[in-house]
Amino acid sequence: MVEGVFVKLPSFPFLNPAVSPSSPNCRLGFRRFSASLSAVVKEGSVSLGHSTRPDFPILHQEVNGSKLVYLDNAATSQKPTAVLKALQNYYETYNSNVHRGIHYLSAKATDEYELARKKVAAFINASDSTEIVFTRNATEAINLVAYSWGLSNLRPGSEIILSIAEHHSAIVPWQTIAQKTGAILRFVSLDENEVPDVEELRGMISERTELVVVHHVSNVLGSVLPIEDIVIWAHAVGAKVLVDACQSVPHMVVDVQGLDADFLVASSHKMCGPTGVGFLFGKSNLLLDMPPFLGGGEMISDVFLDHSTYAEPPSRFEAGTPAIGEAIGLGAAIDYLSGIGMQKIHDYEMELANYLYEKLCSVPNIRIYGPKPSDNIHRAALCSFNVENIHPTDLATFLDQQHGVAIRSGHHCAQPLHRHLGVNASARASLHFYNTREDVDEFIRSLDDTVSFFNSFK
């Protein structure tokens, strides 16, 4: 039984029998062993990170001569074997075009594809699977709302409220639509906790507001917005709310009926699913009134030379052959995540988030963006930061090449936010449930080494 634990905690060197009992290594090892074992025992079982790691083959490799420590999950997540198998199985046994085929394979493909849709609906507690439109990713989903709902509902003077911390995908489509319709974009700034100012947002909402576009969890600040409240304020003036849930759906329980969101978007590749598929959730009554976005096969009802009639949602918004295998892969990812339980994932990541923040604070001259975690304020398991006098790209390059640690450096598709923070770029470490405390330890150790290296050069 103890051996089983050892297998899952490969980083402990004290197992080497050649080490004599009196040597410092052993003593240190023994101390570490008891400290970590008691930590493990305290949790009652092996941590989620350790128990799930074996499911992710990609994590077990070396890069540039060091063990890979993957901390770029906000950019994309890794996929468990179950998802890889589902994809392979699809292409090996029942790949076929969906929806209009008669034969056995196409019937099976259609069933599995529609089953995936049901899984997505259940995962976010949508009332019906017809409220789920498969798209290429969240960005396409936002564009769908912009070009379809936006163009038919916005007039000159209509106001769209966003925060300055939105991802470019949530800003740019609305800039285009605002230009076309004469609508006005208004932006909420950050408050003293470095999160979008919810009071300012409330104040901005008026009868001119048609839409509020907000993230659920910020990919830079790690903050969480009170979506339920925002929806209540928006609905009071007849405005709709579009929630960018890319960083929330993979990490916590998201209930669209509980939030009462009008639109919600997410990408498969951030939630352990394959790239190439994402989805839009839209309330039935809204989707029914929306004109098509992309035109073509599958989204039509009847086609004549001079006009065509369109299908009901969701098909109305799914032109052409969809990413069938990928949607099925997303379904498998949802099965995997549900098998663990999103609440369990969330609780584990909360612990990891606090641990990451705490350890990062110990790095001298570091500046972490976003709110300080407290009883009221929960941070997601990601930290964007800068170390004084060291460019984040230098940090990321050195961490990668000398330590195999993968983080991201840049503006993280949030240039307006970085401009507000007064920096060109930041470094970002972002975790997922298959990361461990040891990953964080290794990251901090490597970061310390990196910072000393660059500082010694000044």
Partner 1 sequence: MKPLLLEISELASIAATLPFSRSISFQKIPTKSPPPLQASSTQLQPMEELPPKLQEIIKLFQSVEEPKAKYEQLMFYGKNLNPLDTQFKTRENKVEGCVSQVWVRAYLDQDKNVFYQADSDSVLTKGLAALLVNGLSGRPVQEVLRISPDFAVLLGLQQSLTPSRNNGFLNMLKLMQRKALELLIEAEKGDGSSGNGQIANDNSEKPVENSTSDSKVDEDSGVGFSSSKNGEDSSSGLGSRGTRIKKKLEKELSPIELEVEDVSYQHAGHAGVRGSDGETHFNVRIVSKEFEGKSLVKRHRLIYGLLDEELQTGLHALSIVAKTPSEVEAK
Rounded Cα–Cα distance for residues 356 and 360 (Å)? 6
Residue in the structure block whose two tokens are 């409240």: 229
What are the Cα distances from residue 418, in Å, to 232, 386, 412? 30, 12, 9
Smallest separation, CB 65 to partner 1 (Å): 9
Structural Rg of the chain based on CA atoms: 24
Q: What are the strands, taking DSSP E only, across 222-319? A: 240-244, 263-267, 278-282, 300-303, 308-310
Smallest separation, CB 394 to partner 1 (Å): 5
The answer to whether the Cα torsion of 167, 169, 173, 175 is positive or negative is: positive
Q: Of 49 and 404, which CB lies nearer to partner 1 in the complex structure?
A: 404
Q: Of 378 and 391, which CB lies nearer to partner 1 in the complex structure?
A: 391
What are the Cα distances from residue 34, in Å, to 8, 39, 282, 335, 410? 16, 8, 52, 36, 40
Measured at the alpha carbon of residue 243, what is the angle toward residues 164 and 370, in degrees to the nearest 5?
40
Residue in the structure block whose two tokens are 């991201």: 408
**Would you say 317 and 265 are in contact if contact means Cβ atoms under 8 Å apart?**
no
Question: Could you tell me the end-to-end alpha-carbon distance of the chain, in angstroms, rounded to an integer?
Answer: 51
Q: Of 25 and 393, which CB lies nearer to partner 1 in the complex structure?
A: 393
Smallest separation, CB 223 to partner 1 (Å): 24
Q: Of 308 and 397, which CB lies nearer to partner 1 in the complex structure?
A: 397
Look up residue 196 and give its DSSP letter. Answer: B
What tokens does 417 get?
């936010």
**Other Cβ atoms within 10 Å of 433 Cβ, number:** 27
By three-state DSSP, how is residue 366 classified? strand
Rounded Cα–Cα distance for residues 331 and 343 (Å)? 19
Smallest separation, CB 76 to partner 1 (Å): 16
**Would you say 426 and 396 are in contact if contact means Cβ atoms under 8 Å apart?**
no
The phi and psi torsions of 430 (rounded to 5 degrees) equal -135, 135
Q: Of 259 and 427, which CB lies nearer to partner 1 in the complex structure?
A: 427
Mode of pairing for the β-strands spanning 209-215 and 240-244: parallel
Smallest separation, CB 441 to partner 1 (Å): 21
Residues labelled catalytic? 413
What tokens does 141 get?
């989903």
Q: Of 107 and 363, which CB lies nearer to partner 1 in the complex structure?
A: 363
The phi and psi torsions of 322 (rounded to 5 degrees) equal -80, 175
Smallest separation, CB 427 to partner 1 (Å): 10
The 10 Å CB-count burial string (b at 16+, else e) for 121-147 is bebbebeebbbbbbbbbbbbbbbbbbb
**Would you say 432 and 339 are in contact if contact means Cβ atoms under 8 Å apart?**
no
Look up residue 297 and give its DSSP letter. Answer: S
Smallest separation, CB 110 to partner 1 (Å): 37
Q: Of 125 and 402, which CB lies nearer to partner 1 in the complex structure?
A: 402
Q: Of 147 and 233, which CB lies nearer to partner 1 in the complex structure?
A: 147
Query: What does the binding site for partner 1 look like in residue numbers (CB under 8 A)?
Result: 64, 390-394, 397-398, 401-402, 409-410, 424-425, 453-454, 457
What tokens does 281 get?
């959730």
Smallest separation, CB 151 to partner 1 (Å): 15
